[in-house]
Structure 1
């Protein structure tokens, strides 16, 4: 698979920006339902000593492209690389938008897509973007614009439980899940000799990916673990990454098709 930062990977049927303006107009006006414009959103931020800064946006983009493959009424927009990552700023290379800025950008981009006849669907790959994405979708709704958003790894909790030794305590950030996925999607980017041993020290609220803590507290990641890793990346494997990626693609595609089926009307009821 081509890495998602290869510009040629956006070409072909799945790429929104590969269309001409007349192409986009023709697609937006065809069929009984509005075509879907998938906007991959992620982050450029620290991922421990063993993973590159681009993990979140590269994985979100790869999932989006694979989910849209072969779907005539789906197009993948150029990815929005930067997200809300201030909790990682103690680590060099992290680039962050404020939550307000991210919300404003998402609202502006999705408004453009909707005005041109597309159904905007945000496909997110960074946990720190969840709140901003939800607020953006709410603001769009207040304008009468229907949009939707999903975080791909929220769709594969059960698969992570099956293929990772400790999905509850081993996943979080630069963890077994993300390391496994990168081993499959862009294997050359993983510094396997630098994968740290150990796991997250005890912390409250539970910082792990699928913890579902009832309490929300904003915390810089260096206060949770000095290397910025949450979870147990030493539990990662290429085999797990292949299974997790396939599940993320299938479930993202099914979810987006459901969104289109239920909310793709060309005018509000």
Structure 2
């Protein structure tokens, strides 16, 4: 690269792009996150993980965040925008095919759990085509499901001006594994009228900073190790594994 290194692809000129570029593409969503968090919460978190991880990777570049995903379970809330699994798969496939014309390796950094099934199918196809691509989630050890303490703390750290703590309410606090069948069948609103799955009480910017540091460390470790499972997902040795 020429001059000071930027890791933001959108801010670079084409001569700045290294021939062995490692591109991190954040995948987010535009969906409700309770009455207190913004609709772009997943996108903000995915971009932050990708951007901070890129600084630890010698040729890392962060592509502009994809702000739409498969968020049909949140369709009962105004503001949610979902493109569904089929459209998301097509977008991911074409983005990676295009990036592969000049990037040496591509990592899809996913901030929304509802995108995971589509990432599996898209990345498996792309790897079968010969593209050096994989995906990773943004795991938060011990985190709650949606718009609770974990995401509220992360957003207090990353974008406190967009958090409305005075509007925060406790939602359904049952484990996601218990909630999932009802969520899949009837959507989030049937389970939690507020859209919160968890309890934001006690959230803090300090906790969010600690969580973000752990998420970035996990991403860097997975990318550096580059062990890919049959889903096309970056994994770690069993003793270090953190769920996506």
Q: TM-score, normalised by structure 1?
A: 0.77
Mapped partners of 1:100, 1:80: distance in 2: 15
Q: Can you give the 5+ residue segments of structure 2 that lack an aligned partner in the other structure? A: 233-244
Mapped partners of 2:137, 2:201: distance in 1: 24
User: How far did 1:218 drift?
Assistant: 4.6
Deviations, residues 3-45 of structure 1 (Å, cap 9, x unaligned): xxxxxxxx95211232323333xx12xxxxx431000000011
Instruction: Work out which of the residue numbers 173, 183, 187 in structure 1 matches 2:156.
Output: 183
- Say if 2:54 is the partner of 1:81: no
- Residues matched between the structures, number: 226
Partner-residue secondary structure (3-state), 2:9: coil
What is the RMSD of the two structures over their aligned residues, measured on CA atoms?
2.5
- Say if 2:11 is the partner of 1:18: yes
Within 5 Å, which residues of 2 pair with 1:211-230? 217-230=184-197
2:145–2:198 CA contact under 8 A, matched in 1:
yes
Deviations, residues 111-159 of structure 1 (Å, cap 9, x unaligned): 1112223211000100111111111101102212221001112xx32xx
- Say if 2:178 is the partner of 1:206: yes
User: How far did 1:235 drift?
Assistant: 3.5
- Say if 2:106 is the partner of 1:120: yes
Q: List structure 1 segments (4+ residues) > 3 angstroms apart after TM superposition.
A: 201-205, 215-219
Partner-residue secondary structure (3-state), 2:64: coil
Alignment match, 2:125? 139
Instruction: Work out which of the residue numbers 28, 40, 43 in structure 2 matches 1:57.
Output: 43
2:149–2:201 CA contact under 8 A, matched in 1:
yes
Q: TM-score, normalised by structure 2?
A: 0.84
Q: Can you give the 5+ residue segments of structure 1 that lack an aligned partner in the other structure? A: 1-10, 29-33, 161-166, 264-269
Shift in CA distance, 218/123, structure 1 to aligned 2, threshold 3 Å:
farther
Partner-residue secondary structure (3-state), 1:13: coil
Instruction: Work out which of the residue numbers 215, 240, 244 in structure 1 matches 2:211.
Output: 244
